[in-house]
Amino acid sequence: MNKQQIAFHKSRRENLLKQFDKHTLILVLGNPLKNKSFDGDYTFKQNKNFYYLTGFTEPNSALLLAPGGMKVKKSKDNYSTVKEILFVQEKDKLKETWTGVRLGFENVTKELGIQHGILNAEIYNILLANLTPEINKLYVNIHDFYALTGEMKKYLADLYEKIITMTSNVQICDINYTIGKMRNVKTPYEITLMKISADICVNAFDDAIRQVNAGLYEYQIQSILQYNYKVYGAMDDAFDAIVASGNNACTLHYEENQDKLKNGDLLLIDSGAEYQYYNSDITRTVPINGKFSKEQKEIYELVLKVQKEIIKKTKPGVKLSYLKKYTVDALADGLVKLKIIKDKKEVTKYYMHSVGHHLGLDTHDACKNTFDDKFDFDILKAGNVITDEPGIYIPKDAKEAPAKYRGIGVRIEDDLLVTKTGCENLTGELAKEVEDLEEIMK
């Protein structure tokens, strides 16, 4: 890692430590490898909360934090007190020949800037040694604890039972909410990465949209996006792309991407890049033959109008739930005007998702809306990044809708950085006006 990365992750650990007292231990587990089939694993993806605090991308690792400090042996007869220990896999010549170089506990401080490194095999004893009578709370990413496999599961197998029987004084609590609150507001360093991720996504979409043509398959458009992500330096998709032509767009999370693009249909593309673990998320809906029909254009212009109004309304203090309410109301008005519905209440037949979500290390980032006095994920703050993605979906079997509108699904999505006075559209460079899309698709 470079100095800037080391400084960022260090600042995250310091910020987390400050929020707890000396009666607390915090254990944040990284991810294990996940088996795909027989002896093949899925491409490794680090646990996002663990990554946020460490920047470390090896599997089977864990971070232990102690606001009150922990005594560790630095060398023979030489002890010191640290607040951070990273547990890592053992260096193993044979295994490293097959699966790549491991950092090793001796390089943790030098390479990652974390105060102390220890072998995974020691984690159980170190934990018990530091669960002194002083400690009354152990914070863990509990969901990830139960999903453990591999060597860390072996080492921590009876941790809970041990704590419960030995020291009834220790409460086990979940750490994810506290880290989620931190992740919700992006630092300038994170904003830089998110802007790069957004730019890569814009460039990939621009190329993909220009190549849309009847006769291609949905997965071929997906592959143009994926090719561009890697060409521009994003090593993965943020999520499985949705490339949905015609009526497929009415399935909100359509990911099969197996159909042939047909002349006269729309194509909805919802995809994102993952750049250094930071995600972007864009949706564009375009006419496969390069020109919107009258009805397609009517629906498209309605969604676009609302999408642009949301950009104007996004600023600190505004609630995401208000933006959704506004969207539902504005889309309902439009659908009544087009005589697609009679009563505004019917809008939920054709618009059934939220207008946006937080975006960051996860595509749906730190988004659980929990109301407490100090924090509410619903209220926007400077440093939040959210998506703005209204849509209308009229399936081909929607008998109540006028026949000419059936089979039309439209969503338009940009990524917005909330600033002190409003917002900045990170993906605003990508065409979305009808004339602009028709122009680049010529």
Q: What residues line the site for Mn ion (CB under 5 A)?
A: 281, 387
Backbone torsions φ then ψ of 62, nearest 5 degrees: -155, 145
Measured distance CA(179)–CA(183) in Å, rounded: 6
The residues, any chain, with a CB within 8 Å of residue 433's CB and separated by 6 or more, are 304
- Torsion angle of C-alpha atoms 227, 232, 238, 239, degrees rounded to 10: -10
Measured distance CA(412)–CA(274) in Å, rounded: 20
352's tokens: 């059934």
Backbone torsions φ then ψ of 381, nearest 5 degrees: -130, 155
Give the residue among 39, 51, 86, 85 at the shortest CA–CA distance from 66: 85
Q: Which residue, 295 or 413, has its beta carbon nearer to Mn ion? A: 413
User: What residue ranges in 215-291 does DSSP mark as E strands?
Assistant: 236-237, 242-245, 266-271, 273-275, 278-279, 282-287
Q: Please give the C-alpha separations between residue 170 and each of 164, 195, 223, 286, 297, in angstroms, as whole numbers.
A: 8, 43, 51, 57, 61
252's tokens: 């909100």
Residues 180, 184, 186: CA angle, nearest 5 degrees:
130
